[in-house]
Amino acid sequence: MTGSDRAPEVRILSFVNHIPPGRDVERSIDRALEWGVDYIVAQGTGSDWGPYWLGSGDAPATDLGNNVRPYLRAAVAHRIPFLFSFGIAGADVHLERSLAALDRVCEQEGWSFRLGVVATELEPEALAEFAEDGREIRRAQEVDELAECLSPDAARRLVRAVGLIGPEPLVDLLGRGGIDGIVTGRALDIALFMAPAMFSGVPRAVAGHLGKLLECAGFALEPGDSAQPVWGRADAESVEIRSPNPDYRATVKSLASHSFYERSDPTKEDNPGGTLDLGGCEYEIVGDGIRSRGAQWRDAPYTVLVEGAELAGFRSVVLMGVRDPLLLDQFDPWVQAMRRDVDGAERFAGREYEIGVRRYGDTAGETAVGVVLDVVAETQELASELAYFAFIRLFVGPYRDRKTTAGNVEVPFMPLVMPTGPVYRFGAYHLLPLEDPAEVFTSSRLTVPRSGL
């Protein structure tokens, strides 16, 4: 893992490690290897599903070991270094669970890897102290639920927080050498790809463009499917993207569209240390792929995004179906009557709760229109009691021209009231200014499989 004096160039095979790989993935990997692969890179963190995984410390049920196995096999056979972010939410508990999955797959296969590991969880107390010391931690998006600046009290209410690491600490690890791969907790998606590109001498703007097109792997192809790998190459001026699976294609439309992905401005994306500007990019078909050039980088003060989860309450739900067209025509008054009954009940006076009713489908028929009763309250017991009370009012409450005496809804599942546990919200989605890109992150080295497991 050392740099080179030759002209800047890097070739990366990208996949998403929390998604089970598509069929014939080995064939796709072999084709990419024929084109040349300098690094295997996979993002495995994100906040697409909100703050629940971060707050709870839980993660989706996916076999991470099997997801990465075919790519690690290629890494071993061809001595290719890899960079992975792990654990969806990417806190320490998620990173440890992911490292344990690596331990198991390495034990099964007889592999051993020397890893650089970057932990990206941030202590709420440390964030509070930053705020008390006058460091302005400003919100990343202008939404009413987030304070303009993170206060010490708001920081201390967080259950768990992470920072999205940029490329610089990863470049530093690559430069130190002596490792086979790098794994991180929560990371900026494109940072994982920028790091090997920048280490290879590729300019930051081109490295960022490469990262933007590779970050979600096959999602940038046509048809889009994140279970598919993508191959990318960057030099001093341009990027080239190819699909190693012939059933999927990189097209001008698919790549240009993906460059708009997950951004408020279709051509600009704010990142640690600056803005990636793709407004002047041009795309052309070259052989099996697409080449693009024209990316620009605008320097800015260095900040990292902080995601922090705080407890909002506890949830219980009831799933229902409605077939009566008369009731569906009166859906809103029916729900409003339930709300009046709940709010007027003395037993719930002074208690904190929210009741949501969601309707799925348009008209009744042979298949019922779905209705979800969603209650969030200060305790699980209260949420379940409120859910049952509200359900009963929906179940038996009268409505105009009703032909039956009760049984307004059908219930497809038991138990009737399903407690789903704690509910979290983003208490922090703010930008933390850093003087040093590695200031708040912890790096270490270890070998997997770890002894004693």
Q: What is the pLDDT of residues 33-84, one digit of tens each?
A: 999 999 999 999 999 999 999 999 999 989 999 999 999 999 999 999 999 9
**Of 74, 16, 30, the residue nearest 229 (C-alpha):** 16
What integer is the mean pLDDT of 201-208?
98
Q: How far is CA 248 from CA 141, 186, 220, 229, 254, in A?
A: 35, 29, 10, 10, 11
Structure tokens at 438: 């590695």
pLDDT of residue 6: 76
What is the per-residue pLDDT across 208-223, written as a single tens digit (0 to 9) for each?
Answer: 999 999 999 999 999 9
Is 336 domain-assigned? Answer: yes
232 shares a domain with 373: no
**Of 213, 241, 248, 211, the residue nearest 227 (C-alpha):** 248
317 shares a domain with 364: yes
202 with 244: CB under 8 angstroms? Answer: no
Q: What is the mean pLDDT of the chain?
A: 95
Is 159 domain-assigned? Answer: no
Is 145 domain-assigned? Answer: no
What is the per-residue pLDDT across 291-350, written as a single tens digit (0 to 9) for each?
Answer: 999 999 999 999 999 999 999 999 999 999 999 999 999 999 999 999 999 999 999 999
Q: Is residue 1's pLDDT more than 70? A: no
Q: What is the torsional sign of CA 256, 257, 262, 265?
A: positive
pLDDT of residue 313: 98
259 shares a domain with 338: no
- Tokens 């390495």: give the residue: 106
pLDDT of residue 5: 64
Is 201 domain-assigned? Answer: yes
Count Cβ atoms below 10 Å from residue 432 Cβ, excluding itself: 26
pLDDT of residue 292: 98
Structure tokens at 46: 């994100």
Distance CA 204, CA 398 (A): 65
Q: Is residue 137's pLDDT more than 60? A: yes
292 with 209: CB under 8 angstroms? Answer: yes
395 shares a domain with 345: yes
Going by pLDDT thresholds of 50, 70 and 90, the confidence category of residue 117 is very high
382 shares a domain with 273: no
333 shares a domain with 277: no
Is 155 domain-assigned? Answer: no
What is the per-residue pLDDT across 357-407, written as a single tens digit (0 to 9) for each?
Answer: 999 987 767 778 999 999 999 999 999 999 999 999 999 999 999 988 889
pLDDT of residue 452: 45
Going by pLDDT thresholds of 50, 70 and 90, the confidence category of residue 239 is very high
- Tokens 């229902």: give the residue: 320
Distance CA 169, CA 174 (A): 9
What is the per-residue pLDDT across 400-439, written as a single tens digit (0 to 9) for each?
Answer: 999 888 899 999 999 999 999 999 999 999 999 999 999 9
Q: Is residue 453's pLDDT more than 50? A: no
Is 2 domain-assigned? Answer: no
Structure tokens at 346: 């003395």
214 shares a domain with 351: no
Structure tokens at 184: 């991180």
Residues 6+ apart with CB under 8 A from 271: 166, 188, 190, 191, 208
198 shares a domain with 50: yes
Going by pLDDT thresholds of 50, 70 and 90, the confidence category of residue 226 is very high
Is 138 domain-assigned? Answer: no
Going by pLDDT thresholds of 50, 70 and 90, the confidence category of residue 2 is very low
Is 282 domain-assigned? Answer: yes
Half-sphere exposure at residue 261, Cβ-oriented, CA atoms within 13 angstroms: 22
Q: How far is CA 247 from CA 20, 25, 239, 243, in A?
A: 18, 12, 22, 9
408 shares a domain with 297: no
Angle between helices 189-199 and 204-214 (to 10 degrees): 140
Question: What percentage of residues in the chain have a pLDDT greater than 70?
Answer: 98
CATH number at residue 393: 3.30.70.100
pLDDT of residue 405: 81
230 shares a domain with 337: no
319 shares a domain with 285: no
Structure tokens at 212: 């933007």
pLDDT of residue 308: 98
The gap from C-alpha 385 to its chain's centroid, in whole angstroms, comes to 33
- Tokens 């803005």: give the residue: 275
205 shares a domain with 273: yes
What is the per-residue pLDDT across 80-89, written as a single tens digit (0 to 9) for each?
Answer: 999 999 999 9
For residue 100, give its domain range: 9-120+164-302+434-448
Distance CA 27, CA 133 (A): 55
**Domain count within the chain:** 2
Provide the whole-model pTM.
0.94
Going by pLDDT thresholds of 50, 70 and 90, the confidence category of residue 266 is confident
Give all strands (DSSP E) within 323-364, no chain letters: 353-360
